[in-house]
């Protein structure tokens, strides 16, 4: 059972929250980056989450095809085949889906899972993210309620975002303003609109100064205490401790103590993309610089086939990214926590 069943995914999230760790959610854009993530989780003895964004799914379909659903389905099916060789449990997730892409990405994928479940099969993905950060909160929550109902019927967990993550990812730009910090009022409105699990399980990406991309230390002003405030406000009203399963977006450059503080307030998932992209690309650059006259046919020479064979630098790239995934598991305390 390398790809999590709905029950196994729920158990993963429950274990993380109860035992004070979070899962790295690794964005992938190819079969090779998928393999790197699987390798990293296995080496860390950690279960994990592998996810694809709208842009990543589009890229996976072929650069002239650019069909998000095709790319996402291809990734999920490929993952089911190759993940069987790794002794960890993996959940598949789709990342940020804004309003204008719902009909071309998230809704069709939910429908596919619903059809699979009706046939007695497992859902295609284990969770999907609705990104309503660009619309007013009331509209965000109205759409979230509709999507949550559909996800619940398809045995899929929904992720949603309140507040805004700054920076840019896949063309989604978040401004750097007060909306970077979710308020208790936002959280209370969320609980009222979509419940606290009784209408379907969801993950909540509440913002506390998060910014997509990579920045020098000191640029990002995180306030993890915001997460504590919203958990306490909603928990007090509904009589539940840490009522939300929280997600940490835009964490590149965050101090380890900030990450651990966020986990202590109920973060169970942390998205990682920028850092693993660099860890994948850096060994390729090293290979090209070191083997310039091998990867290129310079001055009429023939080069060296072993040097320009994509497998030669691809192996180094996979190893580099896998090592960064291991580090992420260690930082988030999921290393050694696998269920089987």
State how many domains the chain has: 1
Q: How many CB atoms lie within 10 A of CB 112?
A: 18
The answer as to whether 297 is a domain residue is: no
Q: What is the pLDDT of residue 121?
A: 97
How many helices and strands, by DSSP H and E, does the chain display?
Answer: 13, 10
Q: What is the pLDDT of residue 174?
A: 43
In a domain, 316, yes or no: no
142 token code pair = 């109205």
**Residue tagged active-site, from 95, 245, 275, 331:** 95
Q: Is residue 44 part of a domain?
A: yes
Q: Give per-residue pLDDT as tens, 237-281.
A: 999 999 999 999 877 778 899 999 999 999 999 999 999 999 999
pTM comes to 0.94
- Whether 95 is catalytic is yes
**pLDDT per residue over 285-332, tens digit each?**
999 999 999 999 999 999 999 999 999 999 999 999 999 999 999 999
Helical (H) or strand (E) element with 226? helix 225-238
298 lies in a domain?
no
The DSSP line for 243-305 is: -S-EEE-S-TT--HHHHHHHHHTTEEEEEE-HHHHHHHHHHHHHHHHHTHHHHS-GGG----H
Q: What is the residue range of 130's domain?
A: 6-282+322-332
Radius of gyration from C-alpha coordinates of the chain: 20
Residue stretches of the annotated binding site for Zn(2+): 96, 131, 161, 212, 249
The answer as to whether 195 is a domain residue is: yes
- On whether residue 129 sits in a domain, the answer given is yes
Instruction: Write down the mean pLDDT value for the chain.
Output: 93
Give the C-alpha separation, 178 to 158, whole Å.
Answer: 25
Residue 287 domain flag? no
Q: Report residue 35 as tokens.
A: 């393999």
- Nearest-angstrom CA–CA distance, 22 and 48: 9
Percentage above 90 pLDDT, the chain: 86
Within a domain: 290: no
Residue 130 sits in a domain of what CATH number?
3.20.20.70
d(CA 249, CA 2): 25
């Amino acid at each position: 059972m390398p790809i999590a069943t709905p029950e196994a995914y729920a158990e993963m999230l429950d274990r993380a929250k109860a035992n004070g760790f979070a899962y790295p959610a690794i964005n992938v854009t190819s079969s090779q980056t998928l393999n790197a993530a699987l390798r990293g989780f296995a080496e860390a003895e950690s279960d994990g989450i592998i996810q694809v964004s709208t842009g990543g799914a589009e890229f996976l379909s072929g650069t002239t095809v650019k069909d998000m659903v095709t790319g996402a389905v291809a990734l999920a099916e490929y993952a089911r085949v190759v993940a069987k060789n790794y002794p960890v449990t993996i959940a598949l997730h789709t990342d940020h889906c804004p309003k204008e892409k719902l009909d071309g990405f998230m809704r069709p994928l939910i429908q596919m899972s619903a059809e699979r479940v009706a046939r007695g099969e497992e859902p295609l993905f284990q969770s999907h993210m609705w990104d309503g950060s660009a619309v007013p909160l009331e509209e965000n929550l109205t759409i979230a309620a509709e999507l949550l109902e559909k996800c619940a019927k398809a045995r899929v967990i929904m992720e949603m975002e309140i507040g805004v993550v700054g920076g840019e990812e896949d063309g989604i730009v978040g401004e750097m303003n007060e909306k970077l910090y979710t308020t208790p009022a936002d959280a209370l409105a969320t609980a009222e609109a979509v419940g606290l699990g009784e209408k379907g399980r969801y993950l909540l990406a509440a913002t506390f100064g998060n910014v997509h991309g990579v920045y020098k230390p000191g640029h990002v002003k995180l306030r993890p205490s915001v997460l504590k405030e919203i958990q306490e406000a909603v928990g007090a009203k509904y009589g539940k401790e840490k009522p939300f399963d929280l997600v940490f977006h835009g964490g590149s450059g965050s101090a380890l103590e900030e990450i651990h503080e966020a986990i202590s307030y109920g973060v169970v998932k942390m998205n990682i993309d920028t850092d693993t992209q660099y860890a994948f690309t850096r060994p390729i650059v090293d290979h090209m610089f070191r083997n310039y006259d091998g990867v290129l046919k310079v001055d009429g020479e023939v080069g060296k086939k072993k040097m320009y064979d994509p497998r030669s630098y691809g192996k180094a790239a996979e190893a580099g990214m896998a090592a960064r995934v291991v580090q992420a598991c260690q930082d988030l305390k999921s290393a050694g926590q696998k269920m089987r």
